[in-house]
Amino acid sequence: MVNIAVIYYSSTGTNYQLAKWAGEAAKEAGADVKVLKMKELAPESAIAHNPAWQQHYQATKDVPEATNDDLEWADGIIFSVPTRFGNVPAQAKQFFDQAGGLWAQGKTVNKVVSAMSSAQNPHGGQEATILSIYTSMFHWGAIIAAPGYADPVTFVAGGNPYGVSVTVDENNNMKEDVEGAVKFQAKRTVEITQKVASK
């Protein structure tokens, strides 16, 4: 059995839902799974100005925050974050940066990593955000487990070979049907992690 950490940041719930689907599928594929959130850095005064953000923040207070111990525990990691100007949100950048100690000890090498993202527009930066995560992962010495076009479900979800990405409308509803693609990506990540861990 391999250990899979599904680590997300979500302000209004989209990436939390992607993370939950990924966690379910990884468990079905035989992994030991933790679904964890990145630490919220925004002040509560800012969160309070957005009712959807405030509601999600309160609803997920009991979700454990990811730590370096979780990164060390994981054989594979699935990240899910929204795009911010075509890049990762500050919460994700901070999370990656604080893992420098693990990186310096070589403890990020050969982690299997896959990534997902969301935005309000079909070309709002999702692909760039996923690729930005992978750029950091190359420095970690990680092994990227992208979905590619290994299953037709990728086309149903919009055709992103780098990782699932979803468009969200002004009411926080997902426009594409991505659940199947998320679950395929998670199962593929488990499969690749099993192969790497068995060597």
> Helix %, strand %, coil % for the chain, to 5?
45, 20, 40
CB distance 73 to 121 below 8 Å: no
86, 85, 88: which is closest to 97 by C-alpha? Answer: 88
SS (H, E, C) 3-29: EEEEEECCCCCHHHHHHHHHHHHHHHC
The DSSP element (H or E) to which 33 belongs, if any, is: strand 32-37
CB distance 181 to 153 below 8 Å: yes
Number of independent structural domains in the chain: 1
35 DSSP β-pair partners? 6
What's the pLDDT score for residue 199? 75
147 DSSP β-pair partners? none
The domain that holds 25 is classified in CATH as 3.40.50.360
- Per-residue pLDDT of 156-189, as tens digits, reads 999 999 999 999 998 889 999 999 999 999 999 9
What's the pLDDT score for residue 110? 97
96, 68, 69: which is closest to 81 by C-alpha? Answer: 96
How, if at all, do strands 3-8 and 32-37 pair?
parallel
pTM: 0.97
Q: Write out the chain's pLDDT in tens, 199 residues.
A: 999 999 999 999 999 999 999 999 999 999 999 999 999 999 999 999 999 999 999 999 999 999 999 999 999 999 999 999 999 999 999 999 999 999 999 999 999 999 999 999 988 999 999 999 999 999 999 999 999 999 999 999 999 999 999 999 988 899 999 999 999 999 999 999 999 998 7
Strands (E) across 42-191 are located at: 76-82, 112-119, 143-144, 165-167
H-assigned helices in 60-178: 68-73, 90-97, 100-104, 126-140, 153-156
| Domain that residue 23 falls in | 3-197
Residue 170 DSSP class = T
